[in-house]
Each structure stands twice: as structure tokens, then as C-alpha cells.
């Protein structure tokens, strides 16, 4: 695919990024797309590798290798290189409902599995995908596709994150009437309020929702199913229901002083900032403000990095990010060969900005909070940290991070953001529908079916906290299960 010798003739080139010190002055996306001709050259680097692991979507060593959506990557890279943008768009949309989302926020397991990694740099798959879909919007190639025939079947999707939206999109195309319920004031779920604006500008979501509305999908906001809306009424009204409410229980840090003022979950912090930005451009002051504060972010993942970038934009005096695990190597080790997901050090945009502003990487490894310390008025003033070391548990054989005796030290901190991940589905929704949860507090299913007739589940609510690309995969698979249950067969892919 592409140009057989393209990977030998052309080097990898990424979209230009606005320098950190300049981009922290606003909440806009900071990648500058390259020209169409340059993008075609990048498509030419996709070679005839014979076994395209990039689209495999396999689990190797418990981690994804290749695209979970099984995107037809060599095909649309070839079409991109040859200038057939319309057909490239068609092939891209064959497997991915929302390339404009994944092209911005996906960590690109496809690129990690690219064969070019064996002797150089991978193809710019993620940016090529984004270039194809954005060109489709710009040229008017993307238009509403309204089903010619309606089946008369009605489906409720609870939750408007990527899994819920993907399921709704698929089932609507099949001709079913779909209504999406969202408890927040805006559609998008995790995409809207869990991901900062500089990573995914919200007009991108609104553009897609507008298209889906034109195609016949109905959206209801401000309704918290299980509280505002009885599940029994929905079960009577609809032929099928898909629960796609996400993994909404944030993992807490249970240390003395946790109830002090100035400690927030990352999801609440990020939502408050994005909502205030969208509602009033921050003029309502209805957000958690890091301006002039010494900020500690607990958690080294994507959400923690988003907190770092957001706090810097707000004008934090300092930002520190704690990571319990050891620092990863800068390149693959012999025990982590291609095409496994590379367990290597990643410096994301937030950390880049911290380095530019404060002069050092904000991350502290093998460390956790032992105590939160406040003043007489209950305000957070310090944290007591303790260093950790990996030790093997004799009973389980697993490696666990253990406190190093005598390694405690204090740090002046007045704002803590907990980004330690999520534990599973919120129980009140599961209880409202009577669906069973597994030991990980995710909804238990058999091929997306719950224990309750005509109730299905998808996304993080079913599989646990994961990537946007996995959520889209889950939504598509759940749509197939629902369609088959209603019609007796399915032609959804």
C-alpha cells in the first residue's frame, strides 16, 4: 500500500505544534495541520508490510496492539497518497464513526504496532486519519445520511460519551429510532467535560452532534436516568436500552486529612474549568482555580497530564505530578518487543509545558501521599509524601509498591487534584435497571447483554476505564447485539 519505497524515501513528519510558552495563553488546540501535499507524502510511507499489525487490534501482554476498531489503515493511506480523498474518507468511516475524535485524543496503538518501528519511525497514522476526516468536512463530502426506511423499533441510549454516541449512530443508520439521554447539560460525556478544550475543542463535538440530529438521532440533556427518570418507564417505552454511562467512580486517596478544603477529584476540576469556559469564558468564576497556587496532581496518566496543562494555563505558582510506579525507560527493553505496546517514557503536552514554564519535569516517581496537612481553618497547606520501592508479594507473586521506612518528607501544597483512575460504574444506575455488577463493579454482560431482558451495556461501564477508541468499538459491538435481538440478524459491521 502507499508507495512501496515510500518509507525509504521519506522521513516521518508531524504536524507543527505551537510552542508551549505561547500556547498556554489560551485553551485552543495547538497543532497546525500540514499541507495536503505534505500529508500525501506521509501517506506514502505506509509500506506493503504484508502483515499490517497496525489494524490488528489484538491484546498482547494484556495491552492493545494495533487499532481496536480494526481501521483499514493501509487502504486509506494508499488512497491518501494517490489523492483519492473521497474514497479514503469512505474507507475510514467504514470502521470508525468519529475519526475527528480519535484523530485528536487517541494514544495511537496503531502507530505503536506499525512495522516501520522495526527500523525507524512509524507512519503518522493518527494525523493522517485526522487529515482525511477534516478534509471531508471542509470539502462538503460529509453530509447527513438519513435512513430510507425506519423499522419502527425504539432504542434508548443512556449516556452520550463515545460508546453511547457510536451505538446511537450505528442503530440509527440501521433505521431504528434512537434517543440518547445525558444527565449533563451538554452532549458528549467524557469527550465534553473529561477532556480539556486544548486537546479537543468542543465545536468539534457539536459539529458531529448536529450531523447526527439531522440524521434522526434524538438527544435529551439534563436528565439523570435512575434519579430524574425512572428506569421502569424507559423499559416500558423502548424496545431496547443500552447503558453507556461510563466508569464514573473516581478512585480516592485515603490518607489522613482527606477532608481538608483544597482537595478535588481531577474529573470535577476539569469539568468545572471546561464548563465555565463554554458557559461564560470564565467570567462566571464557577470553576476550581489554580491561579497562584502550589498544585499537586496525584496520578501519572492522561488525566493527570490534562490537570497539569490546565493548572499551568490558570497561572499556577508550581505544579508537581506524583507517579507511584518507577520511571519507564526511554526506549523498548528486550522484554517489551514490537508489536507490543511500548512501555516507554512519554512526555505529554502538559509535562512539556511544565518544563518550559518551571524548568523541570513535574513528575516525581515512586512516591505517594501519606498525609494531607491543613491549618486551623481546615485549608490544605502541606502534604506529607513517602517514597516507594517495588517488592514481590510472597503470597501472590505480584510486584507491589511498598513504602520505604524513614523516607517521609513534607511539601508546601495548597491545591491537590486526584487523578488516580476510576473504579467502575455508579451503582445507582445499575440498581435502577436491576443489572448485575462483577467484582470490578462493572456491568456484567454476555456479549453486551445484561441479566435484564432488552438491557445492554457498553463502554467503560462494561469494560472499565479505557480509551476513547475502545469505547467506540464497544458502542459498535453493542449496536450489533441490539440490532440482532430486534430484527433476528444484523448487517452492521
CA distance 104 to 123: 16
Whether pLDDT at 387 is above 80: yes
C-alpha cell at 9: 524515501
> Domain ranges in the chain?
6-138, 154-248+423-487, 263-418
CA distance 18 to 121: 22
Per-residue pLDDT, averaged over 380-406, amounts to 93
CA distance 182 to 377: 38
Q: Are 98 and 166 in contact (CB under 8 A)?
A: yes
Q: Are 273 and 314 in contact (CB under 8 A)?
A: yes
Quick one: how far is CA 258 from the chain centroid? 27
CA distance 469 to 458: 13
Per-residue pLDDT, averaged over 476-490, amounts to 97
CATH code reported for the domain at 154-248+423-487: 3.50.50.60
CA-based nearest residue to 363, from 303, 416, 323, 419:
323
Which residue bears the cell 460504574? 425
* DSSP type of residue 169: H
CA-based nearest residue to 267, from 286, 285, 281, 247:
247
Express as a percent the part of the chain with pLDDT over 70. Answer: 100
Strands 263-265 and 177-182 turn out to be: unpaired
- List alpha helices for 178-314, DSSP H: 202-214, 231-237, 266-280, 302-314
Task: Evaluate the CA torsion angle 80, 85, 89, 91 in order and state its sign.
Answer: negative
Per-residue pLDDT, averaged over 124-149, amounts to 97
Which residue bears the cell 480519535? 102
pLDDT at 203: 98
Q: Are 471 and 163 in contact (CB under 8 A)?
A: yes
Sorted by sequence, the CB contacts under 8 Å of residue 202 that are 6+ apart come out as 186, 188, 192, 274, 278
Per-residue pLDDT, averaged over 428-453, amounts to 96
pLDDT at 208: 98
pLDDT at 76: 95
Beta bridge partners of 296: 320, 416
pLDDT at 254: 92
Whole-angstrom CA distances from 256 to 6, 40, 180, 406, 417 are 58, 56, 41, 18, 16
How many CB atoms lie under 10 A from the CB of residue 285? 8
In the CATH hierarchy, which fold is given to the domain comprising 6-138? Fumarate Reductase Iron-sulfur Protein; Chain B, domain 2 (1.10.1060)
pLDDT at 1: 61
Mean of the per-residue pLDDT values for the chain? 96
pLDDT band for 246, please (50, 70, 90 cuts).
Answer: very high
Per-residue pLDDT, averaged over 242-260, amounts to 95
CA distance 206 to 198: 15
**More confident position, 394 or 412:** 412
Q: Are 363 and 318 in contact (CB under 8 A)?
A: no
Beta bridge partners of 225: 229
Do 263-418 and 154-248+423-487 fall under one CATH topology?
A: yes
pLDDT band for 394, please (50, 70, 90 cuts).
Answer: confident
C-alpha cell at 443: 456491568
pLDDT at 3: 84
CA distance 481 to 447: 7
CA-based nearest residue to 205, from 232, 154, 147, 165:
165
Whether pLDDT at 259 is above 70: yes
Angle between helices 73-81 and 36-44 (to 10 degrees): 130
pLDDT band for 205, please (50, 70, 90 cuts).
Answer: very high
Query: Considering just the CA atoms, what is the radius of gyration of the chain in Å?
Result: 23
pLDDT band for 121, please (50, 70, 90 cuts).
Answer: very high
Per-residue pLDDT, averaged over 340-369, amounts to 97
CA-based nearest residue to 443, from 453, 330, 429:
429
pLDDT band for 63, please (50, 70, 90 cuts).
Answer: confident
Express as a percent the part of the chain with pLDDT over 90. Answer: 92
Worst-scoring range by mean pLDDT, 47-56, 81-90, 136-145, 157-166? Answer: 47-56
CATH code reported for the domain at 263-418: 3.50.50.60
Amino acid at each position: 500500500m502507499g508507495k512501496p519505497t515510500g518509507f525509504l524515501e521519506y522521513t516521518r513528519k508531524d504536524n507543527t505544534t505551537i510552542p508551549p510558552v505561547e500556547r498556554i495563553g489560551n485553551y485552543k488546540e495547538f497543532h497546525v495541520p500540514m499541507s495536503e501535499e505534505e500529508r500525501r507524502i506521509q501517506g506514502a510511507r505506509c509500506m506493503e508490510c504484508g502483515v499490517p499489525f497496525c489494524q490488528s487490534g489484538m491484546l498482547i501482554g494484556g495491552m492493545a496492539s494495533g487499532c481496536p476498531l480494526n481501521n483499514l489503515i493501509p487502504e486509506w493511506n494508499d488512497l491518501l497518497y494517490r489523492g483519492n480523498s473521497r474514497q479514503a474518507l469512505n474507507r475510514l468511516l467504514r470502521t470508525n464513526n468519529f475519526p475527528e475524535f480519535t484523530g485528536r485524543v487517541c494514544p495511537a496503538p496503531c502507530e505503536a504496532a506499525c512495522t516501520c518501528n522495526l527500523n525507524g519511525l512509524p507512519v503518522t497514522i493518527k494525523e493522517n486519519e485526522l487529515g482525511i476526516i477534516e478534509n471531508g468536512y471542509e470539502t462538503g463530502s460529509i453530509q447527513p445520511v438519513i435512513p430510507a426506511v425506519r423499522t419502527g423499533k425504539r432504542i434508548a441510549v443512556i449516556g452520550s460519551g463515545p460508546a453511547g454516541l457510536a451505538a446511537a449512530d450505528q442503530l440509527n443508520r440501521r433505521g431504528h429510532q434512537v434517543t440518547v439521554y445525558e444527565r449533563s447539560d451538554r452532549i458528549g460525556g467524557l469527550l465534553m467535560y473529561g477532556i480539556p478544550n486544548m486537546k479537543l475543542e468542543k465545536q468539534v463535538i457539536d459539529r458531529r452532534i448536529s450531523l447526527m440530529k439531522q440524521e434522526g438521532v434524538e438527544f435529551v440533556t439534563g436528565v439523570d436516568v435512575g434519579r430524574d427518570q425512572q428506569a421502569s418507564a424507559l423499559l416500558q417505552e423502548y424496545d431496547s436500552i443500552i447503558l453507556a454511562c461510563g466508569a464514573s467512580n473516581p478512585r480516592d486517596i485515603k490518607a489522613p486529612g482527606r477532608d481538608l478544603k483544597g482537595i478535588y477529584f481531577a474529573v470535577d476540576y476539569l469539568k468545572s474549568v471546561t464548563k465555565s469556559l463554554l458557559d461564560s469564558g470564565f467570567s462566571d468564576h464557577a470553576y476550581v482555580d489554580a491561579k497562584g497556587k502550589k498544585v499537586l496532581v496525584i496520578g501519572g496518566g492522561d488525566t493527570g497530564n490534562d490537570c497539569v496543562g490546565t493548572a499551568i494555563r490558570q497561572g499556577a505558582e508550581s505544579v508537581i505530578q506524583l507517579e507511584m510506579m518507577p520511571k519507564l525507560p526511554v526506549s523498548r527493553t528486550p522484554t517489551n518487543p514490537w508489536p507490543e505496546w511500548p512501555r516507554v517514557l512519554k512526555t505529554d503536552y502538559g509535562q512539556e509545558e511544565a518544563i518550559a514554564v518551571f524548568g523541570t519535569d513535574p513528575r516525581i516517581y515512586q512516591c505517594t501521599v501519606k498525609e494531607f496537612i491543613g491549618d486551623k481553618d481546615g485549608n490544605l497547606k502541606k502534604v506529607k509524601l513517602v517514597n516507594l520501592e517495588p517488592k514481590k508479594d510472597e503470597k501472590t507473586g505480584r510486584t507491589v509498591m511498598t513504602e520505604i521506612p524513614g523516607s517521609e518528607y513534607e511539601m508546601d501544597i495548597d491545591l491537590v487534584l486526584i487523578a488516580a483512575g476510576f473504579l467502575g460504574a455508579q451503582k445507582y444506575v445499575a440498581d435502577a435497571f436491576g443489572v448485575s455488577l462483577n467484582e470490578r463493579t462493572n456491568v456484567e454482560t454476555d456479549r453486551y447483554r445484561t441479566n435484564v431482558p432488552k438491557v445492554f451495556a457498553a463502554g467503560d461501564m462494561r469494560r472499565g476505564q479505557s480509551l476513547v477508541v475502545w469505547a467506540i468499538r464497544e458502542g459498535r459491538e453493542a449496536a450489533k447485539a441490539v440490532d440482532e435481538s430486534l430484527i433476528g440478524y444484523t448487517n452492521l459491521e
